Structure 1
Amino acid sequence: MSGNIVLGAGIAGLAAAWRARELGAAMTLYEAAQTAGGLLDSFEVEGWRFDNGVHLSFATEPEVRAVFDLTPYIEHDAVSLNWDRERWLRHPVQNNMFPLPAAEKTALIAGLVERPELEVRTYRDWLLYQYGEAIAERWPLEYTRKYWTVDAQDLGIDWIGNRMRRADIREVLFGAMSPEPTNTYYISKMRYPVRGGYRGFIEPLIEGADIRAGHRAVSVDWRQRVVRFSTGDEVSYDTMINTIPLPALVGMMTDVPADVRDAAATLFATRLDLISVGIARPDVSPSLWFYIYDPDILAARVYSPSWKAPANAPEGHSSLQFEIYSSPRAPQTATVEEMKQNCLDAMEKMGLARRDEVVLLHHKSLPYGNVVFDTGMEARRDLVVSWVRSCGIELAGRFGEWAYLWSNQSFMSGRRAAEAALGRGAGTA
């Protein structure tokens, strides 16, 4: 018997199944892991709860809010910090230079005023044009290597959108002279579930879904419309939505043209090593989350699960999670123990907590963090996407579409994929 199936039970797949139910159809989700949620899943360690990296919601779409708002949440101000060379600066850093010595501020602002006129082809060009060489070298170029694992000159620019704020000389000057500048972050409020970690927002999607956990797809015969799983099961389908990583899907498909297979082989993502820390003292973090520029600290970003929701940690305790990125272009060479010790060193260096206050130290590795937009990636990806869709397979989510999508965008991606797969518009339910 054939039916409608989804590969992957992350937010995009779950949203697709939810939309299918709204349209009067059923979809079965096949998930390789033992639990649903994908990158938005959370995990517990000895009574502490952590997410798979920092997740906070600022969704505005009515369709997303209709689901997320079913879960009680805490609303946070979108205020974050940066750690840079023994000093805390508010984010975005170029607009908050007040704590820096006058000579440093002068040189950085002069670089902004003298920023070069150049043809913007790469992310490095974009940073130099936006911020000038001094600011670019001091902060975003260094952070790019830590977060994206490649040099800015090897990244394109189409992914940027509103994720980084263009430098405004008036804002930069005000932030250099005043300790209380206007918050210029691209959002003002963020939401997080009271209980259950970020996964709490997608629990309503999970509860009503038909999910077959522990089913890792190993081959897809798109001509016969049959998927084989690691369990030995073979499933025929009428419609299929894929949310698992696009290169992995192509690797298991039959009759793939050489140019498509070659293009898929060039697509890569970051890997994420999470070092989760439990501390026997409340309120150790200076902000909900913060960025780290120092090259000797492996982590690029840190957040406080206990700040996001007190239920994430035992009473009177607090928690931190350090994010360390690597990729096929920059493989992780540190051992798990070295990563742990580096994070503890950083914690003490930043004055957050002492080693003897740490009561939990945990490591988890995620094979996929972010899609990397190396130069020309979009054209290669689009070739792959076009061919996969020509095989009758819809794509959804960050890794299915191979795009820079937040959770709300992945939710909407799953809805669109369901409508396309079922051949029905949003108004025909």
Structure 2
Amino acid sequence: MKKIDVMILGGGIAGLGAALKAREQGRSAVIFEANSRAGGLLDNFEVEGFRFDNAVHLSFASEPEVRKIFDQTDYYTHPADAWNFEQDKWLRHPVQNNLYPLLANEKVGLIKSFLQRPELEGDDYESWLRHQYGDLIAERYPIRYTQKYWATPAASLSTTWIGNRMRRAELDEILFGTFTSETPNTYYTKEMRYPKKGGFRAFITPLITDSCIKCDYKAVAIDIDSKTVTFSNGEKIQYTTLVSSIPLPKLVEITQSVPSDVEEAAGQLVATSIDLISVGFNKNLVKDLWFYIYDEDILASRAYSPSVKSSDNVPQGCSSLQFEVYSRGTDSSYKKEELIESVIYALEKMDIAKTEDILFTHHKHLAYGNVIFNHGMEIQRNRVRDYFNAEGVKTIGRFGEWDYLWSNQSFLSGYNNI
């Protein structure tokens, strides 16, 4: 039976980061990837000459270890300008600081509600939103969006994931944005970087090139006692060190003799899945990098434009959009036809495109999108991670750590855990 020093399960950015660190330590590392090529969530696909990433990806990494890798690839720099669509209006992001397009009586009501915002009474996300923005702003915007993006009511979420992802409400910013559309950009980063060619995957191509990767190797059984992994092709391989970016619930499922309390804890961990509806247009119709959608009659919560990120993603004279629809759990809550119909409806409602402008629509489902931060999730997650850590198995990446990690953080998760 073959034996490998460092066996890495998963060829996404976390696994690639782990392989890099192992090489720097002079250790022999092999990545085993279930798919036909490495890349994970940072991979892309092509439809009729159009390139689409697996959901929206833009880099604002500042860590030297990450920039050392990413900066090997020529990139464009985009301003972090996002928009919000509600009914018939486009508002800049963050929406509470850009109420200018609304009617005067709407603005008065929203600001009055903000000034009367309640004290923070609970530790749930809905209470936090109401305390930050007041009831009317919270109900009209982030509470509605939460249900679409997290497929979970805001009251069921904790606040441990927020960090700098949500702009805190400031009275002077809100007032300023009601009188003028010329508001400053208050996004948590000022610029977004994207490769000039090859899609977001191009940023990690140097890591893929330098790593030893075996594709079409899906782990189906792990025996911690004998330090053996069995793959779907029937091959069994031993390891000295095992590193896994497999989602924690799945890792528990394929690991033999896991204690019942760990199995129970893993069963409490839930993530969203993503339906991607990618659209190719026969002309240049799209000018915005990405935008959020609040309307409940549109299934998608946000969309981004691959053609704005880089013209290399589309044939000359064309443009593209990709819409993201989230479901709770690994399976979609929607049928393909329902998703496509909703996107076509959205394009017309938002006055972006007409049916005759569309060259194609394409559907792809990703079983794992974002970790859902239910109350007490970290207790269950830590019970699972502590078990594997005690058994010498290192869990890395967004779904190995079971955390809200961006691509740069996922890279460091692998790189710093060898």
TM-score bucket (shorter structure): over 0.9
Partner of 1:350: 350
Write out the 4+ residue segments of structure 1 that deviate beyond 4 Å after TM superposition.
none
* 8 Å contact from structure 2 (residues 84, 291) kept in 1: yes
Please say if 1:275 is aligned against 2:277. yes
Q: Which residue of 1 aligns with 2:223?
A: 221
Distance 1:368 1:190 in 2: 24
Report the Cα distance in structure 2 between the residues aligned to 1:118 and 1:95, rounded to whole angstroms. 21
Aligned with 1:238: secondary structure? Answer: strand
Whether the 8 Å CA contact 2:4–2:28 is kept in 1: the answer is no
What's the CA shift for 1:299? 0.3
Displacement of 1:240 after TM fit? 0.8
2:388 match: 388
* 1:366-408 CA distance string (max 9 Å, x none): 0000011111101110111111111100111001100000000
Deviation, structure 1 residue 328? 3.1
2:379 matched residue in structure 1: 379
Any stretches of 5+ residues in structure 1 without a counterpart? 419-429
| Aligned-partner residue type, residue 123 of structure 2 | R
Amino acid at match of 1:413: S
Shift of 1:340: 0.5
Distance 2:292 2:9 in 1: 34
Q: Superposition pairs for residues 211-250 of structure 1, below 5 Å?
A: 211-250=213-252
1:198 to 196, 200, 211: 200
TM (norm. structure 2) is: 0.98
**TM-score normalised per structure 1:** 0.96
Q: CA deviation at 1:286?
A: 4.1
The residue number in structure 1 matching 2:50 is: 48
Change (3 A) 1:208 1:296: same
Match of 1:18 in 2: 20
Q: Distance in 2 between matches of 1:74 and 1:176?
A: 32
Q: CA deviation at 1:20?
A: 1.1
Q: Which runs of 5+ in 2 are unaligned?
A: none
After TM superposition, the structure 1 = structure 2 runs for residues 31-180 of structure 1, keeping only pairs within 5 Å, are 31-180=33-182
Could you report, residue by residue, the CA deviation over 1:71-104 in whole angstroms, capped at 9, with x for unpaired residues? 0000000001000111000000000000100100
CA displacement, residues 42-91 of structure 1 (integer Å, 9 cap, x when unaligned): 11111110000000000000000000000000000000100011100000
Alignment match, 1:296:
297
SS in 2 for 1:88: strand
Residue number in structure 2 paired with 1:402: 402
What letter corresponds to residue 212 of structure 1 in structure 2?
Answer: K
Instruction: Give the Cα separation in 2 of the matches to 1:361 and 1:121.
Output: 41
CA–CA separation in structure 1 for the residues paired with 2:207 and 2:223:
29
- The one-letter code sitting in structure 2 at the alignment partner of 1:384 is V
Match of 1:308 in 2: 309
Partner Cα separation in structure 2 for residue 78 and residue 19 of structure 1: 31
Partner of 1:338: 338
Counterpart of 1:422 in structure 2 is none
**Cα displacement (A) at 1:222:** 0.6
* Contact 2:7 2:29 (C-alpha < 8 Å) held by counterparts: yes
> Does the C-alpha gap of structure 1 residues 315 and 226 become closer, same or farther in structure 2, counting only changes over 3 Å?
same
* 1:268 to partner: Cα distance: 1.1
Aligned counterparts of 1:332 and 1:44: Cα–Cα separation in 2: 22
Find the residue that maps to 2:32 and give its secondary structure. strand
Superposed CA deviations along residues 233-263 of structure 1, whole A, max 9, x for unmatched, are: 1010000111010110011111211111001
Give the deviation of 1:333 after TM superposition: 3.8
* Separation in structure 2 between the aligned mates of residue 147 and residue 111 of structure 1, nearest angstrom: 25
How many angstroms does 1:334 deviate by?
A: 2.7
Give how far 1:332 is off. 3.7
Q: Distance in 2 between matches of 1:327 and 1:179?
A: 36
**Aligned counterpart for 1:28 among listed residues 27, 30, 36:** 30
Amino acid at match of 2:175: L
Give the structure 2 partner of residue 365 of structure 1.
Answer: 365
Aligned to 2:416: 416
Instruction: State the shift of 1:315 in Å.
Output: 0.4
- How far, CA to CA, are the matches of 1:268 and 1:223 in structure 2? 28
Aligned length: 416
1:320 matches 2:321? yes
